[in-house]
Amino acid sequence: MLQPARAPIVATLLVFGLLGLAVPASAHYPWITVSEDAEGDPTFRLGFGHVFPGDGPLGAHRVDGIRVIGSDDAVEPLVLEDREIHPLPNDTEGTRLIVAEQTPLYWSRTHQGGRQASREQYPDAFSCSQSGNVMKAAFGDGGGSAWQYQQGHVLELIPQRDPVGLRPGDPLSIRVLFHGEPWEGEVKATYEGYDGGSSDRYVLTLRTDADGMVRFVPAASGYWLVRANASEDYPDPAVCDRRSYFSTLTFEIR
């Protein structure tokens, strides 16, 4: 069941413009971008990689669940076809949210190289991790409350104001929860068209405070991506070593 996000915290980390520390990305993660087709109807694309937004698509068979939440909080499940660009339901007023979960995947480093399997198949693997990635995209013409609801993801990004309708220079606070509790760690952000080179993919690297909050000012127009990455021990070490979670939020600054 959807739960309202907690009230914004006043004490936040403030970062203006395009200042920040950039760290190279190594792991792949998913995201969602929304656009329009030739007829002006809304569409979306599921991306996967570590160079936003230009890396390859995330195939429909790799998605565990996906839905659209309307500005009236109505939830509409989506069925994905085997295509790169997917249609969206008919327009409604207000801000809408696409929410998706990637199918969990085991990855083990073995004597034979990388394998999509756990230690149950490769007990002598050097290491094993399981992914638990999720993604959100806010879009529409602003209004409503869909953007603020907690989805129950293990690692979740929750904006503290409607990202739709932001203009360059408007501040945005985001709260990060891990198992429903404030999470302290790095949050990275970038935007479409930013080119910091292969070792500088993110325009901002921020750190959450004790309340799980970051605050920054997206100073450039275009499509923005915010992401966090956390991990924890896998509950059964005979099956795998770690669980890794990526959570992404995308929106457009106009």
pLDDT digits (tens, 9 = 90+) for 117-128: 999 999 999 999
Q: For residue 227, how many other CB atoms are within 10 A of its CB?
A: 25
Q: Is residue 19 part of a domain?
A: no
Of 9-23, 76-90, 158-172, minimum mean pLDDT range: 9-23
Instruction: Give the chain's domain count.
Output: 1
- Taking the CB of residue 180, how many other CB atoms lie within 10 A of it? 12
Question: Alpha-carbon torsion 49, 53, 54, 60, what sign?
Answer: positive
Domain membership of residue 149 (yes or no) is yes
The answer to whether position 196 is within a domain reads yes
Environment class of 113 (CB within 10 Å of its CB; exposed 0-12, middle 13-18, buried 19+): exposed
- pLDDT bin (cut points 50, 70, 90) of residue 19 is very low
| Residue among 202, 216, 206, 212 nearest 161 (CA) | 216
On whether residue 20 sits in a domain, the answer given is no
Domain contains 244: yes
Residue 94 lies in a domain: yes
Is residue 223 situated within a structural domain? yes
Nearest to 252 by CA among 168, 155, 133, 151: 168
Domain extent for 232: 27-253
Residue 15 covered by a domain: no
